[in-house]
Amino acid sequence: MSKPAARTSIQITVETLYLPDQSEPDGERYVFAYTVTIRNTGTLPARLVNRHWIITDANGKVQEVQGEGVVGEQPHILPGQLHRYSSGAVIETPVGTMEGSYGMRTDDGAQFRADIPRFRLAVPGVLH
């Protein structure tokens, strides 16, 4: 017998891209774009209401970013659907990580957190 789908389940994947034309390695400025795909794998519609990012560079410097929605939106994601958006991050080293969470709310007002797994920001060729 298969396990029933969770009522609130969000799957998050991230793709990253180094932007050399916007970066200044001599000035310790490395710019990355990232595209996030948020898929509602649960059985209830959910709205992304806020975000919390933790950005860490290779020197251990941590930046925390919190705010409402993502890129000015609070997307409402129906079961089986996805929302994709792109944004960017600037760090002082050629390698770093990002992780965090989205605050979500179902249509009936229940709130839950969707964790964003840690992913790497890296200039191509820096890591093997």
CATH number at residue 21: 2.60.40.1470
In 50-76, which positions are buried (b, 16+ CB within 10 angstroms) versus exposed (e)?
Answer: bbebbbbbbeeeeeeeeeebbeeeebe
Per DSSP, 2 falls in state P
Structural domain contains residue 44:
yes
89, 92, 93, 95 alpha-carbon torsion, rounded to 10°: -20
| pLDDT value of position 126 | 78
Q: Is residue 29 part of a domain?
A: yes
Cα-Cα-Cα-Cα torsion 90, 99, 95, 61, nearest 10 degrees, comes to 70
Instruction: Identify the domain containing residue 79 by its residue range.
Output: 10-122
pLDDT in tens, 17-46: 999 999 999 999 999 999 999 999 999 999
Residue ranges of the chain with pLDDT lower than 70? 1-5, 128
Q: How many domains does the chain have?
A: 1
- CA proximity to 78, closest of 43, 104, 112, 103: 43
pTM (2 d.p.)? 0.91
In a domain, 102, yes or no: yes
Q: Is residue 127 domain-resident?
A: no
Is residue 3 one of the residues assigned to a domain? Answer: no
pLDDT at 32: 98
Confirm whether 32 is domain-assigned. yes
Model pLDDT, residue 3: 46
- Residue 125: what pLDDT? 87
Average per-residue pLDDT for the chain: 94
Question: Nearest 5 degrees, angle CA 41-CA 47-CA 53?
Answer: 90
Asked if residue 95 belongs to a domain, the reply is yes
